[in-house]
């Protein structure tokens, strides 16, 4: 089985522009943002509620806690919300408020056209179909998470820090996510 392809920030920006022509662009953009900017698994994204990302004053939180029943490890996990993800949440909150007028903190953050919560499988299928529609081959719902981890590694972030941000138990798991290409290798040897 082929590994999911990673996207550079430039490719992601082009993809975000392409998304604008399709229905539910703001919602779909936020789904992608959670994987690329937060390193979330698609199943974790599907289970998010408003209360996970905004406080009682509807301000975006600095970090969110994923409940044990919503994570792969079945343990509660902390995810930091960086500036890029924060901006995406703010934009989506503005869009959602205009469309539905009221945000109920207990409701799912991302909803289907029938206003129900996505399952992990249905969200995975949606995102994979969007990537295909935009002409991105080998890009899957897991590409964002792989891109998140690779981008951190390319910025020379300590491997243990990356492991913790990826919420992996073993460093070897994190290392399998990091993609290496010829340009990176050329840049590395120039450092000598």
The answer on pLDDT for 185 being more than 70 is yes
Residue 163 resides in a domain: no
> Span 13-29, mean pLDDT?
93
Q: What's the pLDDT at 1?
A: 47
Average pLDDT, stretch 48-52? Answer: 97
Assign 73 a pLDDT band (cuts: 50, 70, 90): confident
- E strands, 46-169, where? 63-66, 77-80
pLDDT band at 104 (very low <50, low <70, confident <90, very high): very high
Q: What is the CATH number of the domain that holds 93?
A: 1.10.443.10
Comparing 165 with 176, the larger pLDDT belongs to: 165
Query: Domain limits at 115?
Result: 9-145
Q: How confident is the model at residue 6 (pLDDT cuts 50, 70, 90)?
A: confident
Q: To the nearest whole number, what is the mean pLDDT of the chain?
A: 90
- Report how many domains make up the chain: 1
Residue 27 lies in a domain: yes
* Run of H or E residues at 137: none
């Amino acid at each position: 089985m082929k590994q999911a392809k990673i996207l550079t920030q430039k490719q992601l920006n082009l993809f975000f522009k392409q998304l604008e022509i399709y229905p539910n662009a703001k919602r779909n953009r936020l789904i992608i943002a959670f994987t690329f900017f937060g390193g979330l698994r698609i199943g974790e994204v599907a289970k998010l509620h408003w209360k996970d990302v905004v406080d009682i004053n509807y301000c975006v939180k600095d970090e969110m806690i994923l409940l044990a029943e919503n994570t792969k490890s079945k343990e509660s996990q902390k995810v930091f919300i960086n500036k890029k993800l924060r901006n995406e949440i703010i934009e989506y909150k503005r869009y959602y408020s205009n469309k539905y007028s009221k945000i109920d903190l207990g409701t799912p953050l991302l909803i289907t056209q029938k206003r129900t919560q996505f399952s992990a499988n249905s969200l995975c299928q949606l995102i994979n179909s969007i990537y295909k529609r935009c002409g991105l081959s080998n890009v899957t719902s897991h590409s964002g998470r792989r891109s998140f981890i690779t981008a951190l590694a390319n910025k020379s972030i300590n491997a243990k820090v990356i492991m913790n941000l990826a919420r992996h138990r073993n460093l070897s798991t994190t290392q399998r996510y990091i993609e290496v290409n010829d340009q990176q290798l050329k840049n590395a040897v120039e450092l000598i």
